[in-house]
Chains A and B, each alone.
Chain A
């Protein structure tokens, strides 16, 4: 097995397997034809009705392109976020990890086994697999990396509601894997952790899931029962591009984004006892339809200035959706959260949200938004932010390239 050609000791970050990858990379490539424009392959099943849900879920996504997959592509049912720290803190080690993960990602996303995969049959069905790579603040502290840090990749300040528990903080790197199939996801996690075993340590793995798509196309719910994801930029629109993608003269940064991952526990024991009316006041939206209070359907704009006949605001001043609302693309965020269920904690279910947000600059968007929420969000009583990490997600690469290549000048 080719696995024996991998660096036998953890001492050297220059992995001998690079030779293999170089051969592979050169071999695959004759096509210097630039970026692939339409990144989604056609759905493999042609007999399915063309509902929004099925049309939006092809089996494979292209690893290569202007942006990394896993952001503007439809969120799969299952996701895992791997926080990864280098064993040897050097740019060589960083480059080795980025090459390895890029190679694994390009192969597995295409439904092909990674090099030396002993269970390659598990990679045959990608089931919408995406693998996305981000660099953490710690990576930009490596010698030789400081100058490469995008200015917009600002560190998050402390917020009043932070209640961090050890184990979910910033790491050198993030690998985000998504798939419709939890088996494919688990296999991809296994391949990447084994491939990185001599170079890096996995600090944490955070896994999440989403409700099956509603056939009618209705927005899914989170574990508090709320319709979650109503107000969100739509991929393919100018608003989405302006909200998510960095515009920058450097091609190593242009088309990248900042990913913020907050682990937010839901305090369901106290949430569950609230009347429906109280739950609706907390968010500012109807629990069954997701419509804003004072509106009738989910997509209605929030009547933020409306008062009822007693003079009370229809949407309370401390309602979550009111306080989180932002009115321009650059001050908004893309939310792409997953629910999590992590067994029991302190005698009750450890469940919540892997709150995942993307922004071209958190200083314009996430930071002021989270400040407003920390200060007065009614929801704070029923949630607890127990982890936080943020990453620069570099732009996509052409075939043969690896993610973050341009940062390692």
Chain B
């Protein structure tokens, strides 16, 4: 019966890994490591700028960043700046309360285009809410921060262990 348990555990583990691999960022070399403001942040004051930072440096060419309010009006000023692993954009001063979405497109130093977005709220959210983060788009690789994938993977592993433990208990009884 030990064999049966091992097989069940293996199947569950493979399934969990497959779920994790299908996650938003597991296929990319270039990972978003942080944004400012952070995803979903609720700010009491209007930020002067937004930025996205990656795990490897970026090309200074091909970079773009835009911040839209709930009515899709652009609230950035000037051009996006790329420095090492960060792309940043200055914002108009004193943004009114509401939900904003910052989108970026960068090319990593090793030649991958990466595109994605994050939202933040100044004061209180807009009504109706802006669409969820990072809608699918064909132009580049879509990315949310890496942590949801990690959480997903951890949850799947925990689940697998729990199921395995339950199977073992059943077999022993």
> Which A residues fall within an 8 A CB radius of B?
273-275, 277-278, 281-282, 293, 307-314, 316-318, 378, 380-381
Contact = CB atoms under 8 A, between A and B. Distances in A.
A381 B109 CA distance: 12
Interface of B: 59, 61-62, 64, 66, 68, 72, 74, 79, 101, 103-105, 107, 110-113, 115-117, 135, 137, 139-141
B95 to A, nearest CB: 15
Given A282-B62, A378-B62, A309 B135 contact: yes
Nearest to A377: B61
Contacts of A309: 135, 137
A236 B117 CA distance: 49
Contacts of A380: 61
A310 B111 contact: no
Given A275-B111, A311-B72, A311-B103, A293 B139 contact: yes
B66 A312 contact: yes
B115 A312 contact: yes
Chain B interface, DSSP helix/strand/loop, else mixed: strand
Given A282-B62, A378-B61, A381-B59, A308 B107 contact: no
Given A278-B107, A378-B62, 13 more contacts: A274-B107, A274-B111, A275-B111, A281-B62, A310-B66, A310-B137, A311-B74, A311-B101, A311-B103, A312-B104, A313-B64, A316-B62, A316-B105
B103 A312 contact: yes
A310 B113 contact: no
B160 to A, nearest CB: 34
Chain A interface, DSSP helix/strand/loop, else mixed: loop
Nearest to A378: B61
Contacts of A281: 62, 105, 107, 113, 140
Given A278-B62, A282-B61, A316-B64, A308 B112 contact: no
Contacts of A293: 139
A310 B62 contact: no
A314 B139 contact: yes
A278 B139 contact: no
A309 B72 CA distance: 10
A307 B103 CA distance: 12
A227 to B, nearest CB: 19
A275 B113 contact: yes
30 contacts: A274-B107, A275-B111, A277-B139, A277-B141, A278-B62, A278-B112, A278-B113, A281-B105, A281-B140, A282-B61, A282-B62, A293-B139, A307-B66, A308-B137, A310-B101, A310-B115, A310-B116, A310-B135, A310-B137, A311-B66, A312-B104, A312-B105, A312-B139, A313-B64, A314-B139, A317-B64, A318-B61, A318-B62, A380-B61, A381-B61
A275 B112 contact: yes
